[in-house]
Amino acid sequence: MNMKKNKILLEADAVRKSYRMGTTRLEVLKGVNLSVRQGEFVAITGASGSGKSTLLHILGGLDIADDGVIKFAGRQLQRFGQRKLNKFRNRTVGFVFQFYHLLDELDVLENVALPAMVRCSVAGWMLTKAQHLDRAKGILAELSLEERRHHKPYQLSGGERQRVAIGRALMNRPTLLLADEPTGNLDSATGNGILKTFEKLHRSGQTIIMVTHDEKIAGCAERIISLADGRV
CATH topology of domain 40-53+82-226: Rossmann fold (3.40.50)
Strands 223-226 and 207-211: unpaired
Sign of CA dihedral 60, 49, 32, 204: negative
CA 101 to chain CA centroid, Å, is: 12
Distance, CA of 40 to CA of 38 (rounded, Å)? 6
Distance, CA of 98 to CA of 222 (rounded, Å)? 21
pLDDT in tens, the chain (232 residues): 344 557 999 999 999 999 988 888 889 999 999 999 999 999 999 988 889 999 999 999 999 999 999 999 999 999 999 999 999 999 999 999 988 999 999 999 999 999 999 998 888 888 989 999 999 999 999 999 999 999 999 999 999 999 999 999 999 999 999 999 999 889 889 999 999 999 999 999 999 999 999 888 999 999 999 998 888 8
Nearby residues of 74 by Cβ (< 8 Å), 6 or more positions away: none
CA dist 11 to 45, 120, 196, Å?
18, 30, 27
Distance, CA of 136 to CA of 120 (rounded, Å)? 15
Do residues 178 and 89 make contact, with C-beta atoms less than 8 angstroms apart?
Answer: no
Tell me what pLDDT residue 56 has.
Answer: 96
Domain edges within the chain: 40-53+82-226
Cut 0.85: pTM above it: yes
